[in-house]
Structure 1
Amino acid sequence: MPIRREHRFFYPIDWPQLSAVIRFRRAGGRCEVCARPHGQRVFHLGDGRWWDAEAASWRDGRGRIVCVAVGADDVLGQVRTTRVVLAAAHRDHDTSNNAERNLAAFCQRCHLLHDRPEHRRRRWLTLFRRKALGDLFRGPYSGP
């Protein structure tokens, strides 16, 4: 994922090289959670299951091989494609902690799932600040 301009100073100057080492040398060009390959277009069902062409089988959101019963649900009606892009992520969400054990190679889906609690926390803070500013400048909050 690209780094926003206002957040660039949180990352070290050699971040592109550090990110490449984590994504391609350590992780081997695959997501460390679900094993999706970087740069490939994969078929997926939207619930984490995806088709691994190398293994010729379906994998779940954790990278384990699963059996998809054709008659149980309409698999072909649900299939979508997506292009996988790996990103280096901080496990503890602290951009100043660039230790190798704190960095992970995640695909888009796994990165969003990993960041969900942090995004929820930041969303609450943003809404709380907006409400406080409204109370400060326009009187008590009256709702939408």
Structure 2
Amino acid sequence: MDRAAEDDLISCAARILEQRVIQGEPLTDPNAATDFLRMRLSGLDREVFFLVLLDTRHRVIATEVAFMGTIDGAEVHPRVVAQMALKHNAAAVICAHNHPSHNPEPSAADRAVTVQLKQALSLLDVRLLDHFVVTAKECTSLAARG
């Protein structure tokens, strides 16, 4: 199978998985969240900051690419994330971004933006449930790390 056919197959699988997540059960299982996020973000060649917007029962309302970055960073603005949460009337948010370097360790900037997002969203009664750093082989949860 050539690279283009593989990419098409992966893209199709990602769309199917996203539809199942959006139409399915609450996204409370960390393994389901990491599988979904790895499928969406792991193969990208630049950083992408991604949002999963949830209702009060943690069912997926929508997913959005919030920011596109470069090979080693993406600028994240809490104001834009808050606008997206309000636009979808989200009660909770899971955010994630990939590391094209394949290093699953959150940077100091990753931890700082998580704190900023949590504070900004809490003012709007929107909970930030987690922030994941995604690579092809691993998905690191900042919530699990405290």
TM-score under structure 1 length normalisation: 0.25
Larger radius of gyration: 1
Q: 1 or 2, which has the higher strand percentage?
A: 2
